[in-house]
Every structure is written in C-alpha cells, then in structure tokens.
Amino acid sequence: MPVFAYGQTQHAGHADHMPVAPESSVPAEAAGMNHETMNMSDMDHSSMDMTGMDHGSMSDMDHGSGEMDHGDMQMQGGSAPADARDPDAYSDGYVRNAGQYALPPADALIMSDMHNFGSVYFDRLEYVKARGEEWAAYEGEAWYGSTYNRAVIKAEGDVAGGKLQESETQLLWRHAVSTFWDTELGFRFDHADGAPNREWLAFGFKGLAPYWFEVDATAYVGPSGRTALALEAEYDIRLTQKLYLQPRMEVNFHGKDDERWGIGSGLTDGTAGLRVKYEITRQLVPYVGVEWASKFSKTADYARAAGESRQETRFVTGLSFRF
Amino acid sequence: MKHLTELPILNPGLSRRRFVQGLAAGGVLLALSPLARATGLLSAAGTKTGTANILSGTQFDLEIGESAVNFTGNPRIATTINGSLPAPTLRWREGDTITIRVTNRLKETTSIHWHGIILPFEMDGVPGISFRGIQPGETFTYQFKVQQSGTYWYHSHSGMQEATGVYGAIIIDPAQDDPIRADRDYVVQLSDWTDEDPMRVLAKLKMQGDYYNYNQPTAVDFFQDASRIGLKAAIDKRKMWNEMRMSPTDLADLSADVLTYLMNGTTPAGNWTGLFRPGERIRLRFINGAANTFYDVRIPGLELTVVQADGVNVEPVAVDEFRFGPGETYDVLVQPKDDAHTIFAQAMDRTGYARGTLATHAGLEAPVPAIDPVEWLSMGDMMGAMGSGMAGMSHGAGMDHGAMAGMRHGDMSGMDHGSMQGMNHAGMDHGAMAAAGASTEVRHARTEYGASIDMRVDMPRTNLDDPGIGLRNNGRRVLTLADLRTVGGPMDPRGAEREIELHLTGNMERYTWSFDGVEYGKSTPVRFHYGERVRVILHNDTMMTHPMHLHGMWSELETPDGQFLARRHTIPVQPAQRISFLVTADALGRWAWHCHLMLHMDAGMFREVVVA
C-alpha cells in the first residue's frame, strides 16, 4: 500500500465548528433574530411573557426605527423553564390501551414512531490517485433503530492490490440529545497490514451546526493509555438542485506515540478536500474531487523515516450512495 | 402496495413529463402493457378510475382488495374498494340508519373511517382505538344513524392504505329540502398517488428530511439575489434560515418528484371532465382525499361561491381560489360562462397540479394556467407575529396589523395570566372567558426542549385572514378561515369551561412529528369530560401547515376574541399560527385526533382522546 504507514483511516473527523456544548451553539441571537431590524420599539419582551405587554399600543408600534429587547427569547434548543407545561396534564391519569373504552394492548395501534428504520449510506466509495500510485477508499455507515436511538456501524478503509490495507470499523450507539445533535458511544477496531490491531472506546458528537455544517467529533481511549481525537466537517454548496460542491476537512490528534502505526503524539494529520457531486438521484451520486493530505510533527518524521511523503495531493473519482 | 419493478436507485429514466402529467388512461392501459403481463399483474383486475359509481340506500357492501393501476407508465398494485379508485360514492339520507358490510380481501388488517361523521366510537373505524380492525377474510358490519347532511368522505385508517387508494366520497342528502340549489352536482375528489411504497417514502424522509424537495436555495439563487438586492440583503435574507438550519422552501414533504396528482382518480393528462348544459348552475363537492398534498383550487374565469365547509353550510362567500388540506371539504357553486373551464388544483409546493375540465362536450379543453412560482416562507411563517417587523418581509404577507389592533387585546391586558396557570377554572366566570377569547399566553410543554422539535414560536400570529404562503397578494381573492360563517351559529351556546393548549411540533431534520414534542407512542390521551364545552388551542411550532382532524366531535372554530366562525372536522393551522376552537364533548369513548398529512400522522402527530 502506497499510503501512509498508519493509513488514512484514522481520521473520522474534523471541525473547528464543533461547539463545546452542542445546544449552546444556538444562543438567542444565533437562533436567528435579526435584532437590528426588529422594530417593535414599544415592547419589552425580555421574558416573552405576554402578561405585562400593552397590546393596545401594539397597533401603534413603530415600524420605522428602534430596537426590541428580546431577552431570553429562543426559538431552538434551551432547557425547559421550571413552570413549563406538563405534556400529560390533560390525561387525567388515562393511558392508552387500558381503562374505560380501551382496547387491550394486543390490539394497540402502532404508528411509525414506534417502528425502527434503517439506512445504509456510503459517503465515499472512491478511486484515489496520488504520486503515481492508486488505491480505493471507502467510508460509510449503516444504522438501524428508532428516531432517537440507533445502532450504527461506521466503516472506513483503503484497498490496494485487491487487498484490504487498512480499516477502521466502529460499532456505536447513537442517541439524539438535542434538535440537531447526537451522541455516539461504542467501540472502534483498527486493522492495518503489518501493524498490530488497535482497539478503542469511542465517545463523540455528531450533528448539524448552524449554516448546515455537518460535524463529527469523536474522542477515543485505548489500552496502554492511548488516546485520540478525530474531527470532521462537511458542507454542501448547492449550485443547482442536482449539482453541488462539497468541501470536507478532517484532522486527527493522538495523545501518545504509536511507532508501529507511524503515529506521533499531538496533531497527527489532516486532509482537506473538495468534491463536485452530481445527484443522478438522491441515492446515487457520482463525483470527482481533489484532496490535500498532510502529516504533522512527529508523525511526519515517522513518514520521512519510512521514505514516505508528508504531504500529497490526491485526485478522487467516486460514488456516494444510500438506500 | 407491491413493488413490481422497483429499483429506485437505478430508476431515473422515466420521462419527467409523463410522470408529472401521468398517463391519460389510468388503469385501462395496463391491459396493453407487456410488463404487466410479464409480472403477472393481469391476475389482479384493472382498477376503475374516473368518476366513481354512486351507491345509495341504507345497505352497502364494500370489498377492500388489490387491483392494478397505471398512472405513470409503471404498473402498480393499488388497494381499492370494489375495484374502484376513488371508491364508490356513498349517498345517504339524513335520519336513516345505514348498514355497511366491509369485507377485507387484503392480506393485512384494514378499516374504514367515516371522516367527519358523528357516530358511536365503535363505528369510527380506527384500528387500535375504536375497534380491532378488520382482519383478512373478515367482514365487519358498520351500523349507525345518520345525523347530519352534506359532503364527507371515507378512507382506510390502516397502515398506508389511504395513500394507495382506499378513499371515496360520501354525499348525505338533508332530511328536508337542500337549501343549496344546483342544476348539476359533481364530486371532485383530489388525491395523490405514489408509485413507491409509502413506507419506503417515509423511510427515505427518515434518512433525509428534504429528500423530495427540489426547490432548495442554491448558490446561483444567492448570486442572482446579490446582484438584484445587494450582497448584504442577500446574506440577510438567508441568515436566519441558515442559522436555524431550516429550509425556506420546506412547503411540502413530498413533491411531484414522487407524487402524481389526481382529480377523481384521473391524472392531469387524463383530464377528468364534468359535463354541463349552458346556463346551468353546478355544485362542485371538493374533497381533499390526498395523503400528503394541500391543493390550491381555482377555475380561471369563474367565481367560486363557497356554500359549505366540511359538510356544514356556510354563508355564501365568493372567491377566486381556495386552499384546502387533506381531510377538508368545500362545496362551491359555479356558473360556467364558456364551453369549457379548467379546474386547476396546484399543489402547495408548486411542483405539480391536478386538473380537470367542466365542459359542454366531452373532449373540450380550456387553457391550463402555469404553476405559480415557488415562494419562500416568510418571517411571519417562521416567527409568527414576531416576524412581522423583520427586514426582508413584506408586511402584507404576514400578520395583519390592522386585524391585530382590533383583537381586543386591550381587554386582555387587565387579566393576570400569571395566576391563570394555577387558577381553578371551575370557579371562573365562563361567560367572560368565552367573550375574551382564547388565552394568548404561550405555554410550551416541558417536552418541547429536546430532540423532537426544531423550533418554538413565542409570539404566534393569531389572525385568521391570511390565505397562507404562496397565496398572499397573488391578485386573486383567496378564501381564508376568517371568511367562514356557519349558517345558524354554534351548535352549543355555552362558552368554554376550560382550555386545553396543545402545540404542533416536529423536527424536519429527523423527520418526526408530534403534539407537544411527544410522539403518539410516548403520549397519554387527552381527556375531555363528558358533556363539557372545552376550548382547544392549537399552537403551531412548525413551519408547515397541519390539517388537524378531531374524530367524533365537531371543532367550532372561533376568532382570537372568541367569536364563532365555523363548524369544522378538519382545521388547517398555518406555520407559527395559534388558533382556537370549542368542542362539545358529547361523544363517549376513545377517539383519534391527528394531523391529516398521512406521514405526519404516522410519524407521531397523533393523540388519543378519551371522552368520559
């Protein structure tokens, strides 16, 4: 395999957009209010409590100027105030499928919210060319489960000469924690030709940041005190309804040297790519692209010692698909 | 529905035009299709489409089975009643006791729900709530006394059968003379058809909420805007949408990309035609029997006089156009002036239309208008009244400030809403409360702060005179809820004894829909006290319009200040809107209450109601 000793498969991620606490990424302002242009100058909405509002004056409100104090108004996220309404308050203790007029549980109505769904998504299934060498790379995931809890298999790897060179496979439990964010918890298993296998515990966040950045950030802990952090971000710039540009970045950190894998501690490596994708259908999306890959500090030293390049430009041709 | 040839990811080849326009001949062409022969489809009988047969009397036999259809060039299997799509029109008479034997010839459970009909809950036809459902091979006998008149419809309440063909019209003749006089009377039932398995459609939305939206903002649009209105304005226009990760063109979950729009089971190319003689006055009974489509209906050149809504007569109101969602019905009177007039029903997301013709001779056609351009949702649609002062929004498009000024908020300012939360409603002056209208204090549920919802509206719009996105200021007179006045006033003179506030919620990215952020499977029933008069407030915390259908009891829509408007069985609630209606809980038992967009219902925007 012509690629780096430790392979490209470590980098499950990147993003400087990753918020520390995902939900706080949507503060009141960010949630979209354009305060400069709000013109309800007579109103004080500091708590969005209508009680104290003078509705009479609303008809007279000034649309021409002034600013409005929106205080803690928030259209997304946040946590429920102490006096938030109880969603079961109207039930008077009644439940479904028991009690007066109810059918027994065996005849219960089952809607799709109680069903499990599943999907397989290959983001990258590509042929890569760099420095006169070539290989195939794959990255994808399959999930199965409910809206809020899913079992996920993520797989990423390189194949050259008809042989799997390196692979990173994760088995995760994905749990929805807020409007746009999920947590992921599970295991990761790394395999590479000529290097010992590595196992990790994985914990991360995955979701959609404001401005539609798809972000994936995962921390790993392995035996012998090994730690790693992978950050990944992707963005679709839609040119037409079918054609889009997809910038994509990944960066990896490791807490400890792992010479057998050619990994040095600290910032390990990163890639930045740009793909042009065309949706034949939503499910079948061929693309071409270019990607710059780089290794840093001690990892770069290992590469140099092994006679490999620290930086390379790759040309990719591939297919995204899902079903 | 069964897949015959589905290879969805490799199936882009179908002529787009043919898909949207449909085949002219519906089921008939199937017999000629070699593919149908090859797949053994001919073993299933062809479906009768077009104007449905009328069955009348007091005894009815309906058989639900599979039959072949071909709306797009791809043969498919529909679920149909008596081999007909739409199902036979049932004609009843007010005061009669009717018996309907429904036999299930499917391999799965089925059911029939009589939409808008007042009857005992065991006859309401919702499996798991009113009865066990009709098992394969079984015959279930529905029997009830007809206590109302007007235009209604019926459909399966099992699985996705409503999307695959199990729907038909009900006409109930009044016991006395019908005050609505017409020379001709046509049912115009709009629906939508998908060649895909509807469960598969839902699965695709679960993997990508905007899967079927091909009107998304693009970089090209951005640069066009930037050159037209300036870079800053172009950025501002997108700012809130991008920050909130919501789409301004999320007008319908499903589009013509996956739907074929039908009028009386006929594609636009098939051109369903209702004949008339010059000078006649025609009653058109419009029924929205679609699974997922809001239609904007007009007959260019003709005034539509709306005389009935949801089966209940209203003071006649003349309009050019009306929008209605799945579940709703409107009866209109028209007087044709020419030999042919197009009935044009464009889908709310502007990706396609259903179409038919009123003509003096078969084969005549009138021009078919162009589809209106796609309009971005306004700030008012996202933020309610709060959005009305925002930059970039047309004031005419959102909230009606004039109406708001007239909303008698002055009366409310003296009310202590804070203490209202804890107060004992029993001790309150009900009359005063009714006169004051629904409370305006927004109370989000505790469960509206999690992963199940993508927005909350703190200052909803309450005006009812907004025709909705895509219809504002279009130069036509468009019906709004504020135009409706049920003849004879409310069924119950009492004011509300208490209020129930429920929020319509969802998360487009995860494709989940709910009340108060709680999907059906996690919900508890809403209890109405038998005999009470209760006010229901529906507060829409989403950017989509939801046609809300309460089974078993009427929903009496009121203005924000508590004036009665209209008796409905299905009420559309617009984005960021807060509406209220009164219910007289006179029907003991368990009932369904849900959004009538089928996929919203199925994804969880569904509650059980217990009247006890």
Residue to test with chain B: of A29, A37, A109, most B Cβ within 10 A: A109
Q: Residues B332, B367: contact at Cβ < 8 Å?
A: no
Residue B514's nearest CA partner among B552, B555, B546, B536 is B546
Distance between CA B573 and CA B580 in Å, rounded? 10
pLDDT for position B80: 97
Whether the pLDDT of residue A315 is over 50: the answer is yes
State the average pLDDT over residues B384-389: 68
Listed by number, the residues of chain B in 138-197 with a beta carbon closer than 8 Å to a beta carbon of chain A are none
Task: Give me the sign of the Cα torsion angle B592, B593, B599, B603.
Answer: negative
Range from A10-24, B66-80, B318-332, B579-593 carrying the lowest mean pLDDT: A10-24
Band of the pLDDT at A256, cuts 50, 70, 90?
Answer: very high
Distance between CA B512 and CA B519 in Å, rounded? 8
pLDDT for position A68: 36
Q: What chain A residue is nearest to B448 in terms of C-alpha separation?
A: A80
Band of the pLDDT at B18, cuts 50, 70, 90?
Answer: low
Give Cβ neighbours of residue A188 (< 8 Å, ≥ 6 apart): A168, A169, A170, A199, A200, A201, A202, A220
pLDDT for position B138: 98
Q: How far is CA B359 from CA A110, B319, B356, in A?
A: 46, 21, 10
Encode pLDDT of B147-196 as tens digits.
999 999 999 999 999 999 999 999 999 999 999 999 999 999 999 999 99
Q: What pairing do the DSSP bridges indicate for beta strands B272-275 and B304-309?
A: unpaired
Residues of A in Cβ contact (< 8 Å) with B437: none
Encode pLDDT of B563-588 as tens digits.
999 999 999 999 999 999 999 999 99
Band of the pLDDT at B24, cuts 50, 70, 90?
Answer: low
Q: Residues B548, B494: contact at Cβ < 8 Å?
A: no
Tokens linked to A29: 């302002």
Fill in the amino acid letter for B7: L
Band of the pLDDT at B379, cuts 50, 70, 90?
Answer: confident
Encode pLDDT of A47-94 as tens digits.
333 333 333 333 333 333 333 333 345 888 889 999 999 999 999 999
Q: Residues A128, A156: contact at Cβ < 8 Å?
A: no
pLDDT > 90 fraction of chain A, expressed in percent and rounded: 72
Residues of B in Cβ contact (< 8 Å) with A61: 389
For residue B577, the Cα-to-chain-centroid distance in whole angstroms is 16
Contact at CB, B243 and A30, closer than 8 angstroms: yes
Question: Percentages helix, strand, coil for chain B, rounded to the nearest 5?
Answer: 20, 35, 50
SS3 B483: helix
Residue B254's nearest CA partner among B602, B608, B609 is B602
Fill in the amino acid letter for A248: R
Q: Of A73, A76, A114, which has the smallest distance from its Cβ to B455's Cβ?
A: A76
Tokens linked to B163: 């999307």
SS3 B484: coil
pLDDT for position A25: 37
Whether the pLDDT of residue B354 is over 70: the answer is yes
pLDDT for position A310: 92
Encode pLDDT of B106-131 as tens digits.
999 999 999 999 999 999 999 999 99
pLDDT > 70 fraction of chain A, expressed in percent and rounded: 77
Cβ pairs A/B, distance under 8 A: 260
CA of B117 to nearest chain A CA: how many angstroms apart?
19
State the average pLDDT over residues A268-275: 97
Encode pLDDT of B252-287 as tens digits.
999 999 999 999 999 999 999 999 999 999 999 999
Whether the pLDDT of residue B484 is over 50: the answer is yes
Give Cβ neighbours of residue A239 (< 8 Å, ≥ 6 apart): A245, B218, B219, B220
**B501-537 in b/e burial notation, b at 16+ Cβ within 10 A?**
bbbbbbbbbbbbbbbbbbbbbebbbbbbeeeebbbbb
Range from A127-141, A196-210, B53-67, B424-438 carrying the lowest mean pLDDT: B424-438
State the DSSP code for B373. P
Residue to test with chain A: of B19, B160, B207, B377, most A Cβ within 10 A: B207
Q: Which residue has the tokens 């000024």?
A: B405
Quote the radius of gyration of chain A (alpha carbons, Å): 25
pLDDT for position B20: 58
Tell me what the pLDDT averaged over chain B comes to.
88
Residue to test with chain B: of A41, A75, A94, A242, most B Cβ within 10 A: A75
Band of the pLDDT at B30, cuts 50, 70, 90?
Answer: very low
Residues of A in Cβ contact (< 8 Å) with B242: 210-212
State the average pLDDT over residues B334-341: 97
Band of the pLDDT at A308, cuts 50, 70, 90?
Answer: confident
pLDDT for position A132: 84
Whether the pLDDT of residue B440 is over 90: the answer is yes
Distance between CA B76 and CA B69 in Å, rounded? 5
Contact at CB, A87 and B132, closer than 8 angstroms: no
Distance between CA B520 and CA A108 in Å, rounded? 12
Q: Of A94, A118, A208, which has the smallest distance from its Cβ to B524's Cβ?
A: A94
Q: Residues B538, B578: contact at Cβ < 8 Å?
A: yes
Q: Look up the pTM and report it.
A: 0.86
Whether the pLDDT of residue B74 is over 50: the answer is yes
pLDDT for position A233: 97
Whether the pLDDT of residue B406 is over 90: the answer is no
Q: How far is CA A63 from CA A58, B387, B447, in A?
A: 10, 12, 35
Give Cβ neighbours of residue B5 (< 8 Å, ≥ 6 apart): B35, B39, B74, B75
* Cβ neighbourhood burial of B104 (10 Å; 0-12, 13-18, 19+): buried
Give Cβ neighbours of residue B325 (< 8 Å, ≥ 6 apart): B288, B294, B545, B546, B547, B570, B572, B596, B597
Q: Is B261 left (phi over 0), alpha (psi -120 to 50) or beta?
A: beta
Q: Residues B340, B355: contact at Cβ < 8 Å?
A: no
pLDDT for position B401: 35
Q: What chain B residue is nearest to A92 in terms of C-alpha separation?
A: B527
Query: Long-range contact list for A266-271, CB < 8 A, 24+ apart?
Result: A266/A296, A266/A297, A266/A298, A267/A296, A267/A297, A268/A10, A268/A295, A268/A296, A268/A299, A269/A4, A269/A10, A269/A11, A269/A293, A269/A294, A269/A295, A269/A296, A269/A299, A270/A11, A270/A14, A270/A294, A270/A296, A271/A8, A271/A11
pLDDT > 90 fraction of chain B, expressed in percent and rounded: 83
pLDDT for position B248: 94
Encode pLDDT of A211-240 as tens digits.
999 999 999 999 999 999 999 999 999 999
State the average pLDDT over residues B348-360: 98
Distance between CA B551 and CA B126 in Å, rounded? 10
Residues of A in Cβ contact (< 8 Å) with B417: 49-51
Distance between CA A183 and CA A168 in Å, rounded? 19
Tokens linked to B474: 């279009």
State the average pLDDT over residues B2-30: 46
Q: How many CB atoms lie within 10 A of CB A44?
A: 15
| Element housing B431 (H / E) | helix B430-436
Contact at CB, A103 and B132, closer than 8 angstroms: yes
Give Cβ neighbours of residue B232 (< 8 Å, ≥ 6 apart): none
Band of the pLDDT at B16, cuts 50, 70, 90?
Answer: very low
Task: Give me the sign of the Cα torsion angle B551, B556, B560, B565.
Answer: positive
